Structure 1
Amino acid sequence: MDQTATGKFIMKKRKELNLTQEQLAQKLGVSNKTISKWETGKCMPDYSIVESLCTELNTTLAELMNGEEDDKSIHTYDNEQIMEMMKEMQELKNAKITFTGYILIIVGIVMLTLSQLFGGTEFQNFLSGFMLGLSICQMLVGIFVVSRQMAGKTRNK
């Protein structure tokens, strides 16, 4: 599954149908920037939209994933297998992001605790204040990342 090949295939099929990125985006309910990211290989379509994309481009899921017409393709995939694989990949990516958010929160709490141990001299007070500020920022970023992931999970259900 080559993102660049898939992107070029999406662009080729879109142009064969005389569709602009904007028109395809409207049909799929995404932005034209999203279509652009797919076509340049920067990211892959979300598993929840792949079937609609295949329908709009008059192609099969296997062709889309291979990035080529199926006539000469030696790869044979069951559509359900591909969808399941894409769903699992998306879930792993989301879990990784959520894990990163939790790590940021934990490190922030540890730094907050450590910042309370410093104090006394002018430099130690500065270090304590710096660690306090940094820990609060880390915790806020962590909370933002985790809450955004949780909101995405409820929206996709």
Structure 2
Amino acid sequence: MNQIATGMFIARKRRELNLTQAQLAKRLGISSKSVSKWERGKCMPDYAVVNELCDALGISVSELLDGEENERKNLRMYDNDQMIEMLARIQRLENQRVTIIAIALIVMGLGLLALSPLFGGSDLTDFISGVLFGIGIGTTLIGVFLAARSVFAYLGHLD
């Protein structure tokens, strides 16, 4: 699955149908920025809109994932529903990976915060204590941000 090839394929099929990004986005109930990101290969369409996107462009899910039209009817091992379920699983696994990273950052940040008071007494150790404190705060905040984003992404897919 090549995001850039898929994006170029989406753009080509959209233009063949004389649709703007905004018109395609409106049909799918999403923002035109999402369509733009797909077409530039920045991200893949969410599994929740893949069927609608394929219907709107007159292509199959396998063609979308391949980034090209099937010139002949290839024998596929999976049907569209199975392919969409695989995409959903991939997105869930990616979300879980981000959650694990977020938890690790929070734990690491809290550990650094706990270590920072152990240093002190001279200018150098006060500096080290301050650096550990700053890194601990930053790491914890990044972890909290990633965890919140992961939770909101999960909640968005419950519909």
Band the TM-score falls in, shorter-chain normalisation: over 0.9
2:74 matched residue in structure 1: 74
1:5 matched residue in structure 2: 5
Post-superposition Cα deviations, 1:98-142, rounded to whole Å, max 9, x if no partner, equal 111111101101111111110110111121122112211211111
- Residues 95 and 153 of structure 2 are in contact (CA less than 8 Å); yes or no, is this contact kept in structure 1? no
Please report the RMSD computed on the Cα atoms of aligned residues, expressed in angstroms: 1.5
1:145 matched residue in structure 2: 146
1:60 matched residue in structure 2: 60
Distance in 1 (CA, whole Å) between partners of 2:30 and 2:75 is: 29
Gaps of 5+ in 2: none
Greater shift after overlay, 147-156 or 104-113?
A: 147-156
- Residues 11 and 39 of structure 2 are in contact (CA less than 8 Å); yes or no, is this contact kept in structure 1? yes
Gaps of 5+ in 1: none
1:35 matched residue in structure 2: 35
Given the superposition, is the C-alpha separation of residues 52 and 120 from structure 1 closer, same or farther in structure 2, using an over 3 Å criterion? same
TM-score norm. by structure 1 comes to 0.92
Distance in 1 (CA, whole Å) between partners of 2:140 and 2:79 is: 43
Distance in 1 (CA, whole Å) between partners of 2:145 and 2:2 is: 32
Given the superposition, is the C-alpha separation of residues 16 and 116 from structure 1 closer, same or farther in structure 2, using an over 3 Å criterion? same
Identity in percent: 45
2:118 matched residue in structure 1: 117
1:95 matched residue in structure 2: 96
TM-score norm. by structure 2 comes to 0.91
Aligned residues: 157
